[in-house]
Amino acid sequence: MVWSDIEVVRAQLSRNDVHFSEVVYRCSFGFPVVIKSFPEKDGKPFPTLYWLTCPYLRKEVARLEEKGWIRKFEEMIQKDGDFKDRLFKAHEEIIKRRSEMIKDDSIRRLLGGVGSGGLRDFTKVKCLHLHLADFLAGVDNPVGEKVWKMIEKKECDDGVYCRKWLKDRKVLGR
């Protein structure tokens, strides 16, 4: 069975209004894990450049958030200057990459100082999902790197999560 990336991402995220330019990271089963979103949606700024779509990893990352890792990372940012510098550079890299995709100058200005996920205060951690997505997309994001290292099992068995998502949403088995 061949499926399109857009069908898979729609099923993974349980939403039809996905808008992305490409899949930038896939699991070993070929399913999208991270997508690169367009920085504009319906003429409005959309600050999240990389989006974690993998249902398995989203669940694993949510478990880390439930254990208080957002707060722990914010404490690390305050205490570790090197960690903070790397994170600020990661946000700057996102701003640069996103800016290269924007055609509308007014949108470029609106998103000019806005980091990953729409963050303006780079000492804050909005969610761990976006940092992991940035890291898997090749951004030297220290939060995403640590999250990746904390996840012991990097993908589900045999693509079971995505296969179930696709079957439940009638993308597979049609």
| 70-102 tens-digit pLDDT | 999 999 999 999 999 999 999 999 999 999 999
Place of tokens 């894990």: 33
Name the CA dihedral angle for 111, 32, 7, 156, rounded to a multiple of 10 degrees: -130
Distances (CA, A) of 131 to 15, 24, 64: 21, 14, 13
Residue from 56, 70, 47 nearest 127 by CA:
70
* Average confidence score pLDDT of the chain: 91
What per-residue confidence (pLDDT) applies to 169? Answer: 64
- Model confidence band, residue 2 (pLDDT cutoffs 50, 70, 90): low
Dump pLDDT digits (tens) for 36-74: 999 998 888 999 999 999 999 999 999 999 999 999 999
Question: 9: which 2 tokens?
Answer: 């991402």
What per-residue confidence (pLDDT) applies to 84? Answer: 98
Between 83 and 107, the higher pLDDT residue: 83
Question: Which residues, 6+ apart, have CB-to-CB distance to 15 below 8 Å?
Answer: none
Question: Which residues, 6+ apart, have CB-to-CB distance to 40 below 8 Å?
Answer: 46, 102, 104, 107
Q: Tell me what the mean pLDDT of segment 143-170 comes to.
A: 87
Q: Tell me what the mean pLDDT of segment 140-149 comes to.
A: 98
The single-letter code of the amino acid at 149 is: K
What's the distance, Cα to Cα, between the start and end of the chain in Å?
9
Distance between CA atoms of residues 2 and 9, nearest Å: 14
Question: Which residues, 6+ apart, have CB-to-CB distance to 84 below 8 Å?
Answer: 77, 78, 123
